[in-house]
Amino acid sequence: MNLILQIAKRILSAIPSLIGVVIVTFLLTRVLPGDTAAYFAGPAATPTAIEEVRKKLGLDKPLGAQFVAYVEALAHGDLGNSLTTGQPVTQDLAARLPASAELTLIGLIASMLISIPLGILAAVKQGSLIDHACRLIATAGVSLPVFFTGLLLVYVFYYLLGWAPAPLGRLDVFYSPPPTVTGFYLIDSLLAGDLETFRATAAQLALPAITLGLFALAPIARITRASMLSVLAADFIRTARASGLSARTVIITYAFRNAMLPVVTTLGMVFSFLLGANVLVEKVFAWPGAGSYAVEALIASDYAPVQGFVLAMAVLYILLNLLIDVAYGFIDPRVRLEG
């Protein structure tokens, strides 16, 4: 019960942040260059036709009236309609967010499977080749832009070697999407028992997930190494070793558990960074996610999808931070949620 109350307090405390996001996003979309009415009226439209389109879209009203109308619609769960697709923004985001989430989670999991063991080994064997390799990988991961990494992987593994499928979305053109249950093609294809679609989905996911994973690997490995070095120098670790405990028990059970809090915090930050990096990766691999949807809407001066995308990312970020706070209490009982 106490945990539920604390979670409710955290959610309530996040409301001012969401209000700020709504206001700032609304104002920023209005000051961006470009005229929405002129764009959708067409290049041959007359000033009278452009004005009619502007009136139809409600852009002729004062800024305050537009904001009030937007907030009223938002209160009813209406994010507006996309002028580019002709669909409600909520429907477009519901169709595209699973694609972005699947790509981001696979990339994060792949990076964790490599970076956390690498960081632990680098801390345990400080000054060794593994330690130098960890620092080299961390430096390279931070230095290389995700779009460059993605293009390089496409050039090598698709164009030169022919090992990867064409970077044209979530599935090859010869396959049909599995029946939608979760929106994650990997999970839905397994639930449907369609191993061929699962294999095709995994093949399409490989290069974009590796691109995001390389971007995420650097900060996770670096924080894991630094946190482990700090814990391994603590007195209780020396006591555990003096007590005759095996090196594996000391490192995994005692050292890594106490070093997990900074790592978990970094995972949350990296996940939020990946949501931003997704935009570039989705454009490189023609991935039909929420990031590419927002970019296309931004180019067309289509306000509603951009506002809906930013608000959805803000909600995801708040929920992620809430999940991290809850995880703290399970990792270390001394840590408690504070109001």
Number of domains in the chain: 1
Contacts 24+ apart (CB under 8 A), 176-183: 182/98, 183/95, 183/97, 183/98, 183/99, 183/101, 183/102
- pLDDT at position 15 is 81
- Asked whether residue 40 is assigned to any structural domain, the reply reads no
- pLDDT at position 207 is 92
- Asked whether residue 243 is assigned to any structural domain, the reply reads yes
Helix (H, G, I), strand (E, B) or coil at 327: helix
Residues 277, 146: Cα–Cα separation, whole Å: 7
Q: What is the CB neighbour count within 10 angstroms for residue 5?
A: 11
Q: Is pLDDT at 331 greater than 70 in this prediction? A: no
- Asked whether residue 99 is assigned to any structural domain, the reply reads yes
Q: Which helix or strand (DSSP H or E) is residue 88 part of?
A: none
Label residue 339 by pLDDT band (50, 70, 90): very low
**Segment 184-189 mean pLDDT:** 91
Residues 265, 250: Cα–Cα separation, whole Å: 23
**Segment 94-120 mean pLDDT:** 89
Residues 39, 28: Cα–Cα separation, whole Å: 18
pLDDT single digits (tens) 131-143: 888 888 777 777 7
- Asked whether residue 337 is assigned to any structural domain, the reply reads no
- Asked whether residue 241 is assigned to any structural domain, the reply reads yes
What is the chain's mean pLDDT, rounded?
83
- Asked whether residue 55 is assigned to any structural domain, the reply reads no
Residues 3, 71: Cα–Cα separation, whole Å: 31
Q: Is pLDDT at 32 greater than 90 in this prediction? A: no
- pLDDT at position 337 is 47
pLDDT single digits (tens) 141-167: 777 788 888 889 999 999 898 888 888
- pLDDT at position 257 is 80
pLDDT single digits (tens) 33-74: 666 777 776 777 777 877 887 787 777 788 788 888 888 888
- pLDDT at position 126 is 82
Q: Which amino acid is at 36?
A: T
Q: Is pLDDT at 21 greater than 90 in this prediction? A: no
Least confident among 19-28, 45-54, 119-128, 212-221: 45-54
Contacts 24+ apart (CB under 8 A), 60-64: 63/30
Q: Is pLDDT at 338 greater than 60 in this prediction? A: no
- Asked whether residue 329 is assigned to any structural domain, the reply reads no
Give the residue carrying structure tokens 């095996």.
246
Phi-psi region of 78 (alpha: psi -120 to 50; beta: other; left: phi over 0): beta
- pLDDT at position 49 is 79
Domain span at 203: 92-298
**Segment 309-328 mean pLDDT:** 81
| % of the chain surpassing 70 pLDDT | 93
pLDDT single digits (tens) 236-278: 888 888 888 888 888 888 888 888 888 888 887 888 778 777 8
Label residue 3 by pLDDT band (50, 70, 90): low
- Asked whether residue 211 is assigned to any structural domain, the reply reads yes
Structural contact between residues 191 and 324, judged by C-beta atoms closer than 8 angstroms: no
The pair of structure tokens assigned to 146 is 């995700």
Buried b (16+ CB within 10 A) or exposed e, 71-88: eeebeeeebbbbbbbeeb
Q: What is the CB neighbour count within 10 angstroms for residue 166?
A: 13
Residues 229, 262: Cα–Cα separation, whole Å: 12
Q: Is pLDDT at 99 greater than 80 in this prediction? A: yes
**Segment 24-40 mean pLDDT:** 75
Give the CATH number of the domain where residue 187 resides.
1.10.3720.10
